[in-house]
Amino acid sequence: GFLKLSEYDFFKGNMAELNPSGNVFPYDLNTPLFSDYAKKKRFISLPEGTKIDYNDTESLNFPIGTALIKNFYYDGSQLTDGKSRIIETRLLIKKPDKWIALPYIWNDDQTEAILEITGGEQQVALLGKQAIKYQIPNMGQCKGCHERDGKIEPIGPTARQLNRNNTYDGKEVNQLMRLDELGLINNMPNHEVIPKLPIWDQSETGSLDSRARAYLEINCAHCHRIEGPAKNSGLYLIAS
């Protein structure tokens, strides 16, 4: 990977505004992982001329050269100094034989993020909460969550997580439908049969049982499954 995040050209203009370039597509999840109150902006960077293969149960099958981009930030309303701040950007990049994980740490000026394979730690002064030591994982620690049968795999971008609306050019559009309309996904079924994960803290999206399972799925089950890094714990979660 590049030493500087800017070298990928994922974002245009002021990089801290995270305005995606032409082949970079924003996405969000129905129920995301909890990460020390940090907010996240997620993007998929696809090589030109490639397509994603739809999958009903696991993460979508992304083509070689895909980069999954996850930016961790706090907005001004969350911090004691009132200034929004991007802490880190994590990349998952698909190589011909495997995914690799790369952590980039943003500078104080919010103009650049630098690859730090050893990770890092930053103090975050949260408004109304105890200050935290925000841990940025090293390359090896990424595998602690993303391991599947010994290899790194994506966790979040499953069909049931992506089956939701997002705002594109001021319009609310279903994320999977948009990828399909752009010709970027193969084998998309009818919208009615695509699974959908509830939003864990919104009661109108599902029963208490289904929302609890959604929370367990994204926060716990990726490790506590037979192929996961917690496979020797004896505790397996069937969360969906």
Sign of CA dihedral 13, 10, 31, 169: positive
CB neighbours of residue 83 within 10 Å: 10
Q: Which of 88-97, 136-145, 226-235 has the highest mean pLDDT?
A: 88-97
Here the tokens at position 224 are 């506590």
* pLDDT > 60? residue 148: yes
DSSP state of 106: E
Percent of the residues in the chain that have a pLDDT greater than 70, as a whole number: 95
The arithmetic mean of pLDDT across residues 119-140, rounded, is 92
**What is the dihedral angle through the alpha carbons of 33, 35, 36, 38, rounded to the nearest 10 degrees?**
-100
* pLDDT > 70? residue 237: no
Angle at 57 between CA 157 and CA 161, to 5 degrees: 35
* pLDDT tens string 204-227: 999 999 999 999 999 988 888 777
Which pLDDT score, from 0 to 100, does residue 139 have? 81
- Helix H, strand E, coil C: the string for 134-193 is EEECCHHHHHHHHEECCEECCCCCEHHHHCCEEEECCEEEEHHHHHHHCCCEECCCCHHH
Which pLDDT score, from 0 to 100, does residue 229 have? 78
Burial of 104 (0-12, 13-18, 19+ CB in 10 A): buried
Query: If you average pLDDT over every residue of the chain, what do you get?
Result: 92
* pLDDT > 80? residue 170: yes
* pLDDT > 60? residue 63: yes
Which pLDDT score, from 0 to 100, does residue 14 have? 97
Q: What is the CA radius of gyration of the chain?
A: 18
* pLDDT > 80? residue 240: no
